[in-house]
A and B are shown apart, each in its own frame.
Chain A
């Protein structure tokens, strides 16, 4: 049972346009969400996070939106750059309770930004 779902395996956008990556979750206990970026042959690197007490968090070109009622979050990248081409993982954790250290990942979305 997948608790974190990224339903788009891949996404292709033109340089300069907006990239929107989507993520859905099913576990109501999740209250902290992160996006990781992963290049081939490297480990995931943290990109941006959001707590469930917020509905938006922005960091430069990256913005994450959280819709708790829909159990949905999205990552917006504006403007997209060729160097953004990577696999993006959505991850979630339940910070209350005893296993706040455990991240549940989606399968990832391969973003390709074309020059």
Chain B
């Protein structure tokens, strides 16, 4: 009965390096969402994906950030050439269908990214 699995839990990168964050949704869930929580802030929507499709990436920074959810394997959030301002907690959530009404998102424990 595994929930949403994110790895790594903690990731340390130096400025200019790449960060790859992984998310395996709950079994049977085909919708994945990434949220970012900056220090002292609430969670902010980044991107919504279904298998092999990006549905809404309106919350993603236009440069350096990309996300994918391949047919096989976990969803990946990729940050190229990280800067200190990317330091945050990145949460993945999944749902069985598009969230409507009483659907609730199930969140993973997050990846804490620290950029030195």
Contact = CB atoms under 8 A, between A and B. Distances in A.
B44 A105 contact: yes
Contacts of A105: 35, 42-44
Interface stretch (A42-50, A58-66, A68-76): A42-50
Given A46-B105, A105-B42, A106-B42, A100 B100 contact: yes
B45 A44 contact: no
Nearest to A47: B104
Contacts of B99: 93, 100-101, 103
Contacts of A4: 42
B100 A95 contact: yes
Given A46-B106, A51-B101, 6 more contacts: A43-B109, A43-B110, A101-B95, A103-B35, A103-B105, A105-B35
A99 interface: yes
B42 A102 contact: no
Interface of B: 4, 6, 9, 31, 33, 35, 40-45, 48, 55-56, 58-59, 91, 93, 95, 98-102, 104-110
Interface residues of A, number: 27
Interface of A: 4, 6, 32, 34, 36, 41-46, 49, 51, 89, 91, 93, 95, 99-108
Contacts of A106: 42
Contact of B43 (A6, A41, A51, A89): A89
A49 B107 CA distance: 16
